[in-house]
Amino acid sequence: MDLFTLEFWLALLNIVFIDLILAGDNAIVIGMAARNLPSHLQKKAVLWGTAGAIGIRIIATIVVVQLLDLPWLHLAGGILLLWIAYKLLIQEDDKHGDIKAGSTLWQSIQTIIIADAAMGIDNVIAVAGASHGSMLLVILGLLISVPVIVWGSTLFIKLINKFTWIIYIGSGVLAYTAAKMITHEKIFKEFFEESPAFYWSFLLLIIVLIITAGLYTNNRIRSKRQSLQEKSRESH
C-alpha cells in the first residue's frame, strides 16, 4: 500500500481508532495493576508495563498478519472480530475483579504485560484485519495510539462514558473491518469483487446486525436489572 495514497491514510486512521476504542480495558488494567505502588513508582510501572505490552502486541499482530495468508483464516478472524464488536457494546458489570495490584514495581509491570497479552487478542485481530497486510500500518498505528493510551486513557474512558454513541461507532468500525476480512477470504473474494453492490450491501448488513444485536441485548440486561431492583424493594 503506497504511503502517499488516501487509502493508506484512511487505513491508518481506522487502525488508530480501533486501538483507541479497544484501549478502555487496557487502561483499566494498567490503573488497577499499579494502584498499590507509591506515586513515584506508578508512572514507571505504567510506562514500562505499557512498553512491554505494546512490544508483545506488535510481534503478535505481525504474526497474525502473516498467518492471514492461510486458507480460512480471514473468515475465522472476521467471525471472531464480529463477536468482539458485539461484546464491545454489552454493558456488563465489573469484568476486571480478578486483576491483582502489584506490591512491587516489577510485579506491577508483569501484571500489566500478562493481562494485556491475555486481553489484547481483540486488538491484534482487529488491527491485523484493518492493516491489509501492511507492517508499516501496524507499527505506525500502534506508535500513534500508545501515547494516547498511556497519557490520555482516563480522559478517553470518561469521554466514552459521557458519549455512549462513541462505543457504537467503534463497534460499527470493528464490524466493518470484520466484514471486509470475510470478503477477503479467497473462496469469496472473486464473487465480492465481481459484484460491488453486493459487497457494500454485505458490509452494511453486518454493521446493522451487530449494532442491533448489541442494542437488543443491552435492553434485555436493563430490563432484568430493573426487575431485580423492583423485587428487592418489594422484599424490603
pLDDT in tens, 153-207: 556 656 766 777 888 888 888 899 889 889 988 888 888 988 899 999 999 999 9
- pLDDT of 109-134, one tens digit each? 787 777 666 666 777 888 888 887 78
- How confident is the model at residue 202, as a pLDDT? 95
Please state the domain extents for the chain. Answer: 6-235
Neighbouring residues of 84: CB distance < 8 A, sequence distance ≥ 6: 122, 125, 126, 174, 178
C-alpha cell at 169: 461507532
C-alpha cell at 83: 463477536
Question: Model-level pTM?
Answer: 0.73
- How confident is the model at residue 62, as a pLDDT? 82
The whole-chain average pLDDT of the chain stands at 79
Place of cell 487505513: 11
Place of cell 448488513: 205
The three state secondary structure string of 43-54 is: HHHHHHHHHHHH
Q: 18 to each of 5, 97, 222, how far by Cα in Å?
A: 20, 25, 27
C-alpha cell at 201: 450491501
Q: Tell me which residue of 195, 53, 60 sits closest to 125, measured CA to CA.
A: 60
